[in-house]
Every structure is written in C-alpha cells, then in structure tokens.
Amino acid sequence: METTEQATTATKTSVDFQDVYKAFIARGRSDDPILALADVNFRVEPGEFVSLVGPSGCGKSTCLNLLAGLSKPSSGQVMHHGAKVESINTSVGYITQDDNLLPWRSLMANVELALEFQGVAKAERQQRAQEFIELVGLGGFEQHYPHELSGGMRKRAGIIRTLIYDSDVVLMDEPFGPLDAQTRVILQAELLRLWERSRPTVLFVTHDLVEAIALSDRILVFTSGPGTIKRDYKVELPRPRDPFHIHETPGFDELYDALWTDIRTEIEKSRGSGVG
C-alpha cells in the first residue's frame, strides 16, 4: 500500500462530517434528551491539524467520540476515508483527557499495547516501543508503573502509545488539560515534533486558544449547545512553529482577538439563556 494507495487517499477527504446531529439522554436524570450537536458539517483533508474550540459543553468531545465509533449520530453521517463510521473505528488513534494508561502495566507494556492487539511479534514491538520511549525522553522509566510517573510523563506515554501504531487520524481530547502552564508548552512543542515525523491528520479539542493557534492548520469554533460550527479559521503561521514564542509571531494577535470575540459571545449567550 505504498505509492498508488497514497495517491488515491490524498485526493480523498480524510474526515467528513455530513449534517450531523447528536441528541443525548442524560443518565440518571429525567429522560429529557439534550441536543449536543446540530447541523455539523466539516471536512478535514489528510495531514491537516485541526483544533475544535468553543465554550464548555458545546459538543466538541462528542465529535471525537462519533469519529471513534464510540457513539452514533442521531442523524447525518460521519465518514472516514469515504466509509461511514458504524462501529468502533480502530483505524483512528484516540488520546483522551485522562491518560487512561493501564495501571497494572509498566510504561513499556502500555506503549506496546496496541501492537500487542495487532499481533506484532514481541521483539519487534519492544523495539518500536523503546524507540518511541527514547523519543520523548522517557528512557530509564520503561519498567515503571503509571502511578510512579509524573503527570507530564504519563501524558507523554499516552501520546506515544497512540502514535506508535501509525493511525492516519489521531483524536486528542484536551490532552494537556490538567497540566501546569510550563509543562503544557513543553508538551505542545514535543507533540509538534512528533507530528512533523509522519504528519497524521489530527483532530484536537482544547479550551486554550493559544494552544489551538500554536498547533493547528485550521481552527473550528463551535457555538454553545447545541454545538454547531460558527466559523472556520485558517492558521497561516509558518511551520515549524515554536510554542514557546508563538505569541510573538506576526499575525498571532489578530487571530487570537478574532477567536476570543467569537467565543465570548457564545459564552455570554449560554449564560443568558441557559442558567438564567
């Protein structure tokens, strides 16, 4: 599946949300459904790094769950490489907000996990895991269990254990959420470095506008619930980027202000009518 396949996938859209609606039944409470997504349409081309931003609860994470096949749209369809996603989509990689490392497996065994499921021979998967572990500077911690690692180390482990199996779309749901500001920026830089290696398609959910600008090619702004796409920004800042100095790049301020204005009106809207 080398050159010929690549040529065809390049012309094919990687991810395509077509008229997607998603209604939830909130568990435990009344049976009143809540509309999380309404009329969501967007496409992502192969190799694009796309961030989804918007007020809390606007259904950004729901988009990722739909693409991973963990839940189904109430109406409309989610396409991955031209095929409708109808069950668990094992050709994406999913990096969740919690690191979700298996607590009973060492760092090495956690990184190997996906290759183990794919039936890769032990020697080979250990070698590849070792390579990735070294790549993010976790060498020497191979036999440590997750609870013996720091928050930043666990995040790195969560990222490389997903990148190791070369899925062409990587979903990231606020992966750096609970980290302190410095660790965040360091990990953003590392993520960019890893991404540049093979340039997979990335859908990245975040609250942090600076993070979105630093990482993405495009930024989709969602409205408050029901979430729908309000605006689609292109980030034209040159690559490779340096997250430590991203705010000094020409063009950053204008983009940031535009994004913030969009989001602020959404937050005010949901305040005004939702909580009341």
Nearer to other proteins, 115 or 246 (CB): 115
- Half-sphere exposure (Cβ direction) of 5: Cα atoms closer than 13 Å: 3
Tell me if 252 contacts other proteins by CB under 8 A: no
Select from 46, 54, 69, 152 the one that contacts other proteins (CB under 8 A): 69
Tokens of 154: 């666990």
Closer residue to other proteins, CB minimum distance, 147 or 234: 147
DSSP E strands: which ranges in 90-206?
92-95, 169-173, 201-205
Q: Which is nearer to other proteins, 90 or 182 (CB)?
A: 90
Residue 230 engages other proteins in binding (rule: CB under 8 A): no
Asked if residue 181 binds other proteins (CB under 8 A), the reply is no
Which residue from 115, 206, 129, 186 is spatially nearest to 160, judged by alpha carbons? 129
Q: Is the peptide bond before 240 cis (omega within 30 degrees of 0)?
A: yes
Do the beta carbons of residue 210 and residue 256 sit within 8 Å?
A: yes
Q: Is 81 in the site for other proteins (CB under 8 A)?
A: no
Neighbours of 139 (CB within 10 A): 10
DSSP category for residue 227? B
Which residues, other chains included, contact 87 with Cβ-Cβ below 8 Å and sequence gap of 6+?
Answer: 69
Is residue 10 near other proteins by the rule CB under 8 A?
no
Our finding on whether 236 is near other proteins (CB under 8 A) is no
Among 2, 5, 32, 254, binds other proteins (CB under 8 A): 32
- Binding-site size for other proteins (CB under 8 A) equals 57
Burial category of 169 from C-beta neighbours within 10 Å (exposed 0-12, middle 13-18, buried 19 and up): buried
Give whichever of 59 and 243 is closer to other proteins, judged by the CB atom: 59
Tokens representing 272 are 């005004």
Tell me, residue by residue from 183 to 222, as one string, x for binding to other proteins by CB under 8 A and - for no binding.
----------------------------------------
Q: Residue 172 Cβ, how far from other proteins at the closest point, in Å?
A: 12
The answer to whether residue 103 forms part of the interface with other proteins (CB under 8 A) is yes
Cα dist from 226 to 41, 99, 231, 270, whole Å: 14, 28, 15, 10
Q: Is 274 in the site for other proteins (CB under 8 A)?
A: yes
The answer to whether the beta carbons of residues 49 and 55 sit under 8 Å apart is: no
CB 125 to other proteins: min, Å: 13
The answer to whether 146 contacts other proteins (rule: CB under 8 A) is yes
5: amino acid identity, one letter: E
- Does 270 bind other proteins (CB under 8 A)? Our answer is yes
Contact footprint for other proteins (CB under 8 A): 21, 23-26, 29, 31-36, 38-39, 56-59, 61-62, 68-70, 74-75, 88-90, 92-94, 96, 98, 100, 102-105, 113-114, 116-118, 145-147, 162, 165, 224-226, 269-270, 272-275
